[in-house]
Amino acid sequence: MRKKLLIAASSVIVVLLVGLLFVGNYFYGKGIKRGTDIELHRESTEVNASASVADRQSLAENKAWYDNQEKQTLSLTSFDDLTLQAKYIKNEADSQKTVILAHGFRKTGDDMGKMAKFYYDKGFSVLLPDARGHGASEGDYIGYGWHDRLDYIDWVDRMIDECRAEEIILHGSSMGATTVLMASGEKLPREVKGIVADSGYSTVKAELAHQLKYLYHLPSFPLLDVTSMITKVRAGYMLGEASAVEQVKQNTLPLMIIHGGSDELVPTDMAEEIYDAAGGDKSIWIVPDAGHTKAFDIKTKTYEKRVGAFVDQVLIQ
């Protein structure tokens, strides 16, 4: 009888383990593997409805300007031998100022193009990379900012070495915001003067747990722990180690955090957590009526004024 019970118990454990591995692989495929679609938690229709006529017109002009610009394609080889690509707009003023714009989850550098005119008008050349696993860049997984932080440091070095950049701003949105926040904890060249992070998440694991709850109504344990181990094997990182909160503790650069007060995709309290943990000079702007990454869209003029003041201040320090 005892032997039969042990066999039965062992069989149940094996079935559970196989089931967890199956589910972990499923969530890896949905959230981390390149080329799969996932429907993220959507915001209510009432969010993002407050843009003025002037802001809508300004946003449309910004997008049209970007579409009409001549762009150079640049490439580099990452630390793990991926070929990464970016679009580059050289400023005619030749001021040696460059902004590197980091896009969000399953988007491309072009999605940050709406901000290019603002920086160009301030004398910046503009670099818009496609993150690993996105757009024209190689990579079969999404790094959620963790491996990407090293890629963007490589882009910084490229701007310094080949484009003579002397003053660099890193500006990211969503996953791109987390990327530049994670980069802030590394040793950055002195040419990097400041960081703007719009709608970043605190840790990859916390953000995926948030999505797991709203999309599937499931707890994070043990599903994300299994997915994390699979991610380590297939993509080379654990979900728990990819932390903007831990990285910003090492930050010494001026940091501006922006977040929508109505953000349902990345909870607003993550911005507060990042701000509280960050070293260096820092500021935070919570935009009351904005959803995820929508502060620029609905408060375009105010956004440009606030970010412009931040940039002007860090460049004279």
In tens, the pLDDT along 29-57 reads 788 888 766 555 566 655 566 789 999 99
Structure-model confidence comparison of residues 47 and 139, the more confident one: 139
Closest CA to 109 of 100, 121, 117: 100
Q: What local confidence, expressed as pLDDT, does residue 216 receive?
A: 74
Q: Which residues contact 134 (CB under 8 A, 6 or more apart)?
A: 34, 103, 106, 107, 108, 142
CA distance 297 to 48: 8
Q: What local confidence, expressed as pLDDT, does residue 23 receive?
A: 58
Q: What local confidence, expressed as pLDDT, does residue 220 receive?
A: 74
Most distant CA pair in the chain, distance: 85
C-alpha 200 chain-centroid distance: 6
Q: What local confidence, expressed as pLDDT, does residue 46 receive?
A: 59
CA distance 155 to 52: 36
CA distance 311 to 254: 9
What is the token pair recorded at 125? 């050349």
Residue 200 phi, psi (nearest 5): -80, 155
Residue 91 phi, psi (nearest 5): -80, 130
Domains and CATH numbers, the chain: 53-203+242-316 (3.40.50.1820)
Structure confidence by residue, pLDDT tens digits, 239-249: 999 999 999 99
Whole-structure pTM value: 0.92
What is the token pair recorded at 142? 């999404």
Location of structure tokens 């484009």:
163
